[in-house]
Amino acid sequence: NIRILVLSHMYPRVDDPISGNFIHYNACSIRSKGFDVVVLTPLPYVPIFLSKSEKYSRYMKTPFESYISGIHVFYPRYLRFPGAAFHPFSCYTMYYGVQGIIKKLIHDFKPHILHAHTATPDGYVGLLLRKKFGIPIVVNLHGSDINVYPHRDYLTFRLTGKVIAGANKIIAVSKALKSAAERIARPQSGIEVVYTGCDLERFSFNEDDRVTLREKLGIPSDSPVLIFVGHILKAKGIFELLEAFLIARQKHGNLHLIVVGDGEDSFTLKQKAEAAQLSKWIHFLGARSHDEIPGWLSAADILVLPSWYEGLPNVVVEAMACKRPVIATRVGGIPEAVEDGKSGILIEKGDVGALTSAISLLISEPAKRVIMGLAGRQIVEQMFTWEKNAEKTIAVYEEVLRNASR
């Protein structure tokens, strides 16, 4: 069997079961095709003086190794200083942190390919490991690793360029991300676009969940409901969403908003909602397990994601699978999933007026919501299954192994 070693700092763990779940599903889909898969998930080492911090103490709960859905996962520690300024240096500290377990895996598991997720730090660590051990490397680009990190400092930009130019093969989750990567550096053998998958059985509209969860929140069955799912960050357009929601409620007094997620701007968002006397109408649920997301999408009527930048967010595909129309910004790979006017409405980032109009239009026309929802489900069935994701990923592996054997 062909053996794949996955390197990703994002992967489900005891303290964070939804971290990098899409990478786990990718690994499971590859394994289902007869490949052997082992996962390496480096975590920041937590010194004693940081052990009382809620964020860092969570890492301490993770064991060194475990099995998830039959996949062997290792969680080695590496030195990672907090703050964006130290991001490029984590490429080197992660490399030294995984040395021990990598030597053992090279000896015992004998991987044919190293599949690293994100350009930095994982992709660059992969380049260093290839130099030392001679394993071909495939690097998966996901979004922020191209759209955000390289533009914060020169060193990250340079390291990202080395990964794009140096990897045996690059995979991007959207055409837009592929183009953005090619503006940073020229890849040695092109970039393959492999869309993320979606579990079509799990993500489907559920009427029982809709009734139960609305009752739980005290939302009437006939009230229109918007939903936001993601990190609560300014760059996700959450404050534009709050502003648009406030305006839309003046016309549609029974409108509700469900917010699923957590993040550094959660407190500010809640404060602003209280100041605008919207607490009764906005339901903050915090971070939820991935298994709960289909139910919350079913409970809502429209997914709203007004991000400033994206790769191709999984929640957009998941909402479409649940037959929910999507209102989102025309950024990154979103237009490759959401067909404007067919499965949702695309707006420009930061445009509160356009966001408000789109919300108002879909609230006023329930029939349009149903038609868009059906169209979205059809798009997902055609383009975004884990079966297709596995087939395309495996084709990349086969190309890399053919070239390596020459």
pLDDT in tens, 108-135: 999 999 999 999 999 999 999 999 999 9
Query: What are the pLDDT digits (tens) for 236-250?
Result: 999 999 999 999 999
- Higher pLDDT, residue 48 or 206: 206
Q: What is the Cα–Cα distance from 108 to 106, expressed in whole angstroms?
A: 6
Residue located via tokens 């929140």: 217
Query: What are the pLDDT digits (tens) for 334-381?
Result: 999 999 999 999 999 999 999 999 999 999 999 999 999 999 999 999
Q: What distance separates the 2 farthest-apart alpha carbons in the chain? A: 67
Q: What is the Cα–Cα distance from 98 to 8, expressed in whole angstroms?
A: 12
Angle ∠(392,126,104) on CA atoms, nearest 5: 105
Q: What is the Cα–Cα distance from 284 to 243, expressed in whole angstroms?
A: 16
Amino acid letter, residue 87: H
Mean pLDDT value across residues 13-36: 91
Residue of 210, 265, 249, 353 whose CA lies nearest to 257: 249
Sheet holding 36-40, edge to edge: 65-68, 71-74, 36-40, 3-7, 113-117, 137-141, 169-172, 191-193
Tell whether the model's pLDDT for residue 47 goes beyond 80.
Answer: no
Residue of 190, 19, 27, 184 whose CA lies nearest to 113: 27
Mean pLDDT value across residues 65-81: 93
pTM to 2 decimals? 0.89
Tell whether the model's pLDDT for residue 401 goes beyond 70.
Answer: yes
